[in-house]
Amino acid sequence: MSDSPKTPRPTYVIVLREAVIAQDIALTIADFDPCAGVIVAHSAEAAAVALFDVGQVAVAFVSEAPSRFVHTALAAEIARRGGRVVLMGEEAEDTGPSAKWGVLALPFDTETVIRFLG
């Protein structure tokens, strides 16, 4: 375990294989909250590891089916840090939002992403 303190600033997490979409969301977050940390990962496993020194998660955008996401280490790490989850992808859109997650449908615009950030 590290002796370094957990980061005090809110951190946003983006888990997507599509780099262009991930970058679009990251730029929207930077415009919305220039002091926030942003973690971009290609897998839930990599994102969970990247959260090691993060104290608070604001919002996590994750491209994953709800039935698979709820059983991941990433889901537990986000919940432990008080973060909200926004799922993306066809299965997430078919399932719809719940008390545990929102759904960002593709295609999306900047205003839609900002609604999830606020």
pLDDT digits (tens, 9 = 90+) for 37-96: 999 999 999 999 999 999 999 999 999 999 999 999 999 999 999 999 999 999 999 999
Domains and CATH numbers, the chain: 8-117 (3.40.50.2300)
| 5 vs 93 pLDDT, higher one | 93
Q: Which long-range contacts (C-beta less than 8 Å, at least 24 apart) are formed by 38-45?
A: 38/11, 38/12, 38/13, 38/14, 39/11, 39/12, 39/13, 39/14, 40/14, 40/16, 41/13, 41/14, 41/15, 42/15, 42/16, 42/17, 43/15, 44/15, 44/69, 44/72, 44/73, 44/74, 45/73, 45/74
Question: pTM of the prediction?
Answer: 0.91
Tell me the pLDDT band of 10, cut-offs 50, 70 and 90.
confident
Mean pLDDT of 22-29: 97
pLDDT (0 to 100) of residue 6? 56
